[in-house]
Amino acid sequence: MTDTPERIQTSEGKSRLIKHFEKSSINNHNEAWTNLWETNNDDMWDRGKPSPALINLIEQRPDILSPITADGRRKKVLIPGCGKGYDVVMLALHGFNATGLEISAKGVATAERYAREEFPSPQSYNFGSSTSRPEKGSVSFIQVYPGANLILSESDSCRLGKANYSIL
């Protein structure tokens, strides 16, 4: 990891992250992501907190981003490439049942550790200017295995004996 913040782009117009992926074929990008985690180079995309723009959108547009459906069910959110889990935890703190997907076992363990520490006593950076705090949703993380081309989500109707899957 670097000790100083990286410039977004080098004089060649490429970030360290782009340079890393240029070294491998598209077929090896899963391994390239895992390599970044395993070599402690996970700082290339980490801002250390959830997306302020996403927080503002959720808080300013409850008409379209309410965590509760019209019939009272909690909405589910899937965050692929969730990194250290900042957005996953923030979404759960805003009332969603949030699931983060990550390719690296180390990434999932890092996100789970962050969630255990942050969820019970959240820092202020998880919230914008809204004073409304809905009931917390849930947080979970799933390791997506290299080579997985399809993710199926079991819908609520499956529990009622009807096969109904969504392709994510």
Listed by start position, the domains of the chain span: 1-45, 49-167
pLDDT of residue 9: 55
pLDDT of residue 113: 97
Q: Higher-confidence residue: 10 or 46? A: 46
Which two structure tokens, joined as six digits, stand for 168? Answer: 């994510």
d(CA 161, CA 168): 21
- 83 contact partners, CB below 8 Å, separation of at least 6: 42, 45, 46, 102, 107, 111
Backbone angles phi, psi at 44, to 5 degrees: -70, -20
- Say which DSSP state 68 is in: B
d(CA 52, CA 87): 10
pLDDT of residue 161: 45
pLDDT of residue 154: 46
Condensed to tens digits (0 to 9), the pLDDT of residues 110-149 reads 999 999 999 999 999 999 987 778 899 999 999 987 666 5
pLDDT level of residue 4 (50, 70, 90 thresholds)? very low
| Cα Rg of the chain, angstroms | 18
pLDDT of residue 41: 81
